[in-house]
Amino acid sequence: MAVRKKRTVACLLGAAAIMALSACSNGANGPGESRQETPQASIAPSQKPAESAVPGEAEAMAPSDRLFWKPPAGWVGDLMPYNDGTDKLHLFYLQDWRDGAPGFHPWHQVTTTTLTDYADEGESIPVGLEHEPDLAIGTGSVIKEGNTYHAFYTGHNWKFPDQGKPKEAMMHAVSQDLKTWTKLPEHTFVAPEGYEIHDFRDPFVLYNEEAGVYWMLVSARKEGVGGVIAKFVSKDLERWEVSEPLEVEASSSFFMLECPDVFRIGDKWYLVFSEFSDKKATHYRVSDSLEGPWLLPKDGDDLFDGRAFYAAKTGMLGDERFLYGWVPTRQMEKDFMKWDWAGNLVPHQIVAHEDGTLGVKPPDQLADYLSKPEEMKMERTLGTATGSGGEWKLDGESGLAGVVFDKLPQIAKLTGKFRFEEGTQFTGFVASVGEDAEKAYGIQAEPGKSRIRYDAVQGEALTTVEPDVSVSVPFRAGTEYPFTLLIEDDVAVFYVDDYALTTRIYKMPGGNWGWYARGGAVTLSELALFTPKED
């Protein structure tokens, strides 16, 4: 599938967001620099590929669409969850057609009540014409006031800078049913004085009950300061007055604080945002008040997942809050190529701890859906490995030790516990195990560097190269760590100790799998494999 080139903003457009995940292969410059390329102007802004996706028509999802949803055609970009207290979750998202049209990323919508069955609702807000501010559309949010739903979104016209006009603007649309939307162009506004005019996006609107006003939080850059979350105040959702930006601890190194989202759990307020200039990930901050200041969590660790889970925002389903992001594709669908922008939806269930910190775990709905036990057929062992069934001892002190099983199901859940001793270099799941056991793709715990990592390098080289994807985890020798791995086709999400590592492994489907260890003794227990339960 061809990669669209004219992208400029992470959380909105491809090239900068590709930078958010990896260096862009089509010549993107650094953050803030011009990345405009010649458009294919002959293609109509609203052109779509497909009779394969009919807007507004619910799709009967095939089994491959159960865990990590994507539209029948195209890919999922930034998600904007909305729930007004019903049992149905509305997930608006940026539809990435990758068709080369000058207008791109219309808002589409998918709905679910279970996180395992999805209804594709088609297009919600179309892109504008070439002379309009929303030639491309970016991230935003939905709020209800009275009987009317309000969508606030980013308008992005990559042609405007050449015309001396701001590239990005805040825009407004309304609906009575969450399906048909009417744009209100008279409410459009751009960055105020003192803010950079071309980086102004991702509005998140909430009602401040204590003050009796609406807030709009916007990803912006303030002159002389850098990346900030700008704040605007309104009483009527039409006229907005600029206020002081949020006070966000340790944010000075971020070029942008993208896709802001604010919510409350218990007596704590939380701010979630994503950035592409440091960890290239989704972060959070904590506050005792909506007014801030927004501080790093007590343990100093403000990440949920790695660089292959981006632009995440939160939403309620039932009594639980979930974090919704996307796992990118790779160029040419090759594991060694650069990350693209957009991919499949990935949900994490948020875990709130007593000390105010947050973590994530597998969504209960997915864990329940994947509940049919499957036999694990052991094919061979490597090095010093003893055991059977789900209980194994891997002694990697003298070299690689492991156990290899038969082919992975298309959709599966792998659970178990591992405990490592001092000196262990790495231990974890491997996929696509061939004749040369070292040439496997692995999600490994690396105790010496307190992290989990995904790589497609040989085991001996694992500790000498920087990981493709990594997440910090404070491992301790002698501690038993329960884990869960969710798999659908080429998407994998590994959960351990309230952290997640999301990645995509194109060589995983249909291949053998196993668990390896090197450098120390590892005990693997209660290993079990599950597939979808029968209806």
**pLDDT tens track for 206-224:** 999 999 999 999 999 998 8
**Average pLDDT, integer, range 108-122:** 96
Nearby residues of 160 by Cβ (< 8 Å), 6 or more positions away: 133, 166, 167
Q: Residues 334, 397: one domain?
A: no
For 227, the token pair is: 């990346």
Tell me whether residue 7 is in a domain.
Answer: no
Tell me whether residue 1 is in a domain.
Answer: no
**What pLDDT digit, counting tens, does each position of 303-336 carry?**
999 999 999 999 999 999 999 999 999 999 999 8
- The Cα 44–Cα 120 span in angstroms is 23
CATH (domain of 384) = 2.60.120.560
Domain boundary among 333, 367, 401: 367
3-state secondary structure of 462: helix
DSSP for 5-26, please give it.
-----TTTSHHHHHHHHS--TT
In the structure, what pLDDT confidence band is assigned to residue 194 with cuts at 50, 70 and 90?
A: very high
Other Cβ atoms within 10 Å of 464 Cβ, number = 7
pLDDT at residue 219, as a whole number: 98
Q: Per-residue pLDDT for 41 more than 90? A: no
In the structure, what pLDDT confidence band is assigned to residue 287 with cuts at 50, 70 and 90?
A: very high
Q: Per-residue pLDDT for 55 more than 60? A: no
Q: Per-residue pLDDT for 226 more than 70? A: yes
Domain boundary among 343, 367, 391: 367
Exposure of 167 by Cβ count < 10 A (0-12 exposed, 13-18 middle, 19+ buried)?
buried
Tell me whether residue 311 is in a domain.
Answer: yes
**Average pLDDT, integer, range 429-436:** 85
Nearby residues of 476 by Cβ (< 8 Å), 6 or more positions away: none
In the structure, what pLDDT confidence band is assigned to residue 464 with cuts at 50, 70 and 90?
A: low
Tell me whether residue 172 is in a domain.
Answer: yes
Q: Residues 74, 141: one domain?
A: yes
In the structure, what pLDDT confidence band is assigned to residue 290 with cuts at 50, 70 and 90?
A: very high
Q: Which helix (H) or strand (E) holds 488?
A: strand 481-488
In the structure, what pLDDT confidence band is assigned to residue 472 with cuts at 50, 70 and 90?
A: very high
Domain boundary among 367, 398, 426: 367
Q: Residues 496, 510: one domain?
A: yes
Q: Residues 326, 448: one domain?
A: no
Nearby residues of 69 by Cβ (< 8 Å), 6 or more positions away: 61, 76, 110, 112, 118, 344, 345
Q: Residues 381, 283: one domain?
A: no
- The rounded percent of the chain whose pLDDT value lies above 70 is 86
In the structure, what pLDDT confidence band is assigned to residue 456 with cuts at 50, 70 and 90?
A: confident
Q: Residues 308, 399: one domain?
A: no
Apex CA 188: angle with CA 82 and CA 237, to 5°?
50
pLDDT at residue 434, as a whole number: 79
Rg (C-alpha) for the chain, rounded Å, is: 23
Please state, rounded to an integer, the average pLDDT across all residues of the chain: 88
Please, are residues 164 and 147 in contact by the beta-carbon 8 Å criterion? no
Q: Residues 350, 393: one domain?
A: no
pLDDT at residue 281, as a whole number: 97
pLDDT at residue 318, as a whole number: 93
Tell me whether residue 376 is in a domain.
Answer: yes
What is the domain range of residue 401?
371-531
For 338, the token pair is: 């650069």
Going by their DSSP bridges, the two strands 89-96 and 75-82 should be labelled as antiparallel
**Number of domains comprising the chain:** 2
Q: Per-residue pLDDT for 73 more than 90? A: yes
Model's pTM, two decimal places?
0.89
CATH (domain of 30) = 2.115.10.20
For 332, the token pair is: 């040419």
**What pLDDT digit, counting tens, does each position of 240-255 carry?**
999 999 999 999 889 9
Higher-confidence position of 219 and 3: 219
pLDDT at residue 459, as a whole number: 59
- The Cα 48–Cα 101 span in angstroms is 9
**What pLDDT digit, counting tens, does each position of 360-405 carry?**
999 999 999 999 999 999 999 999 999 999 999 999 998 999 999 9
**What pLDDT digit, counting tens, does each position of 149-189 carry?**
999 999 999 999 999 999 999 999 999 999 999 999 999 99
**Average pLDDT, integer, range 31-47:** 27
Per residue, what are the HEC states of 61-100?
CCHHHCCCCCCCCCEEEEEEEECCCCCCEEEEEEEECCCC
Q: Residues 440, 356: one domain?
A: no
Q: Residues 332, 474: one domain?
A: no
**Average pLDDT, integer, range 471-485:** 97
- The Cα 140–Cα 77 span in angstroms is 12
pLDDT at residue 113, as a whole number: 95
Q: Residues 61, 47: one domain?
A: yes
Q: Which of 428, 433, 410 is nearest to 530 (CA)?
A: 410
Tell me whether residue 4 is in a domain.
Answer: no
- The rounded percent of the chain whose pLDDT value lies above 90 is 80
- The Cα 322–Cα 345 span in angstroms is 12
Q: Which of 530, 445, 526, 524 is nearest to 486 (CA)?
A: 530
**What pLDDT digit, counting tens, does each position of 485-533 carry?**
999 999 999 999 999 999 999 999 989 999 999 999 999 999 999 999 9
pLDDT at residue 27, as a whole number: 29
pLDDT at residue 439, as a whole number: 72
Tell me whether residue 187 is in a domain.
Answer: yes
Tell me whether residue 231 is in a domain.
Answer: yes
Alpha-carbon dihedral 211, 212, 213, 217, rounded to 10 degrees: 50
Q: Residues 304, 433: one domain?
A: no
Please, are residues 530 and 372 in contact by the beta-carbon 8 Å criterion? yes
Q: Residues 350, 377: one domain?
A: no
